[in-house]
Structures are given as structure tokens and as C-alpha cells.
Structure 1
Amino acid sequence: MQAMPAKEVILTILLSILPIPSRGFGMGPPLGACVDMWPKQHGADAQTSDPPYTITTSKDTYSPGETLTITVSTTENEDIKFFEGLFVQARRANCSHKEYEEAVGTFALPDDETFLGLLHCQGGPNSAVGHIAHAHIVERKFSWTAPASSVGHIYFRATVARRQKTFWTKVTSEFIRDPLVSSSPQMCPIQTKETVNTCANSATSWNLSCALILLVMMIWTSKF
């Protein structure tokens, strides 16, 4: 069998180690959105009006290892009666903590759930909930279990989409307080404006992708 030219061998290897591009939000939030919870392929800014959705919890305090029931539902807004996309995490309510952008705790879904799935974000397995199907949803309930050790006050944060270019990122619950912590909880910054996804400002993994793509182009156009 004839050997593959060296240029094609290198090109094949480089392409095989490139990260897979993110899926569109229509089939669920990609893992690349775990930190900013931003629907990167929607091509629009978030809505700035009051969200027509709410996040409520079965308790306003928690203890390590305790399980709470979380409900995401529509409000009485006459124009927006359902949602089509959902991405939920629990976050530390301490913006000075080095891990304030990491999801905390683990989620579990009802056995008959077909609209939502569990994601393994930077906080660990089942640390986020996101939609995996297309449907018009009025309300969803699921459970969240706190970490085995105290992480301080928390809150639940969601990105909720009515349609591709109509979505809200500032959908949050009330603070869920940790009785062991005396400091006041904080709501940390949430992105509302789309940013240009370029090699210069993308995350580290995508900077690597940009460098590899550039290398591929250089090899392909060289006299190798």
C-alpha cells in the first residue's frame, strides 16, 4: 500500500486533535458555555427586560449534602408563555472567591424527563442542567444536592431562551444561605452582550485550536 505523503499525515494528525466545535443551543448548551453560560451561536445580545421566567427553591437555606427541589417556570407575561431553551447551574454567591464561576453541587432529573439532560461542567459530574430537545415548556422541576462540604451562600442562575435570538441570561433565584457563613451573599456579574469569538479573545482551548489551524494552513501552503 502506498504511503501517505508527509504533508497529509501531519494534516490528519492535527485535525484529529482539534476540539470539536460547539453544538448550537438548539440541541442543548455546549460544554464550552459552562463558565459564561452564554448561547454562543445565537448571534444576539441578551434581553435586558425583566425575565419572564423564575427560579424558585424548596428552601432558602441549605446544609452540606442536603437536597433541594428547584422549579423553573414562566411568569404571567401574556406575550411569553413558554421557553424552548434552558441552562441552569448553582453558583457561589461570593464574587471574590477564586471559583465563583464554577458550578457547585449536583443535579438529578425525574425518571420521565425528556426535555432536560445533565451536563458535566467545571464543577464536576451532573453540575448543570440543560435542554436536550426542542419543545415549548412552561415549567420544569428537578433536584439539586449540595456539596458534602460547605461552599458558602449560593444562588441558582439560568440562561433561558424563548427563541434563538430572544433569551435572558439574568434569570436567578433568591440567595440560598449557608447558616455557617455570616458574610452577606453577592450576585456576581452576568454577561448580557455578545462578544466576538476570535482567536485573540477566545478561551485557552480555542486559542490552541487557532494555533493548530494556523499551523495546518502553513503546512498546507508550504512546499513540504
Structure 2
Amino acid sequence: MDAVFCGIVILQVFTSVLSFQDGAPASACADMMPRHTGVRPQTNPAPYTIHQSNTTLQTGKPITVVIEGPDYTGVLLEARSGSDSKAIGTWQTPPNNTKFLACSGNKQGAITHANSNIKNNSTVYTWIPPAAAENIFFIATVAQQRTVFWVQVRSSTSSE
């Protein structure tokens, strides 16, 4: 009995350590906070900046987004409007090593990592703005590794 209990505890710990190598959970959509047990975000300024191809939006016209900085393994990327914490717009086909994450009721509302492979400055994300989009910004959580990550890295604001 003790061996079974010990095995279950070890399995639980092992599962929680590896649980988010394949992407952020939907529960992270609003606050952008990874659910890495016992780990806090970095408090120093992020070495990342989010660049978009255009700061003037046109409904349906794609905007490319790049996270510039050191290589990273984990990401949660959304577009938002004003002070709203809901993901808006639609992401197009995710780059290699990333995938869609359903946020704010939108199946393509966010992009997250699909594995712990390296992503870098050549990883380009493509986003389609919705109709009547105003004060749009991109926001990301970027992880260099499981224990080193920055939350709510923000781009400049775009408008129609």
C-alpha cells in the first residue's frame, strides 16, 4: 500500500513539472500567468520587445508580429483592446513549434508553444484584426525556460 501511495505521489509531482511543455493552459488567458508550480515571473525588465508590421489597422488585413530578443522556449501571445483582458482578432496558421490556444471563446484567440523547442526572432506570427478594432496592442508571456519568464510583455498600441 505504501509503495502504491509513494508511486502516485511521484507521478503527480512528475506530471506537474512537465505539464506545460506543450503549451499554456486556457486558464492563463486572462492574467497571462504560467501555472508553473513554485515559480514566480522575473521582476527585472524583459529582454523582449514585440514588434508589429503596421500600427495602422485595416479590418481583415494581416499584421505580422515578432517577439525580438534572446531565444525563448515558451510563449503565450494575444491581441487585446484598451483595458480589456479578452483576446481579440484571429491568429493565422501558427509557426512551427507553436499552436492555437482558445481564449475568450475564440478558438484562434491566442498562440502558445507546442513544445519546448527554441523560438526566436525569425518566428513570425500573423494576426487578423476584427472589424472596428481600436487601441490594439499585443501582449505576451515569454519564457526562456520553465523557471525564467516575463509576464505581460506589451507592444505599442495600434489603431484604425
TM-score range, shorter chain: 0.7 to 0.9
In 2, the alpha carbon distance for the partners of 1:166 and 1:42 equals 13
Consecutive unaligned residues of structure 1, counting only runs of 5 or more, are 1-20, 75-80, 179-224
In 2, the alpha carbon distance for the partners of 1:119 and 1:57 equals 20
For the pair shown, which has the larger CA radius of gyration, 1 or 2? Answer: 1
In 1, the alpha carbon distance for the partners of 2:158 and 2:81 equals 10
> Quick one: which amino acid aligns to residue 106 of structure 2?
G
In 2, the alpha carbon distance for the partners of 1:85 and 1:167 equals 8
Q: How does 1:17-166 map to 2 (within 5 A)?
A: 24-74=19-69, 81-93=70-82, 95=83, 100-109=84-93, 113-139=95-121, 140-147=123-130, 149-166=131-148
Tell me, yes or no, if the aligned pair for 1:116 and 1:131 is still in contact at 8 Å: yes
Q: Percent identity?
A: 30
Give TM-score, length-normalised by structure 2.
0.82
Aligned residue-pair number: 143
Shift of 1:173: 0.8
Structure 1 outlier segments of 4+, above 4 Å: none
Shift of 1:151: 3.2
> Quick one: which amino acid aligns to residue 60 of structure 1?
T
Consecutive unaligned residues of structure 2, counting only runs of 5 or more, are 1-15
Tell me, yes or no, if the aligned pair for 1:66 and 1:145 is still in contact at 8 Å: yes
Encode CA deviations 1:41-94: one digit per residue, 9 max, x unaligned. Answer: 2422211211111210010110222211111121xxxxxx3111011000112x
Q: Which structure features the higher share of strand residues?
A: 2
Tell me, yes or no, if the aligned pair for 1:25 and 1:42 is still in contact at 8 Å: no
Tell me, yes or no, if the aligned pair for 2:57 and 2:133 is still in contact at 8 Å: no
Shift of 1:155: 0.2
Encode CA deviations 1:164-191: one digit per residue, 9 max, x unaligned. Answer: 121001311111123xxxxxxxxxxxxx
In 2, the alpha carbon distance for the partners of 1:123 and 1:64 equals 20
Give TM-score, length-normalised by structure 1.
0.59
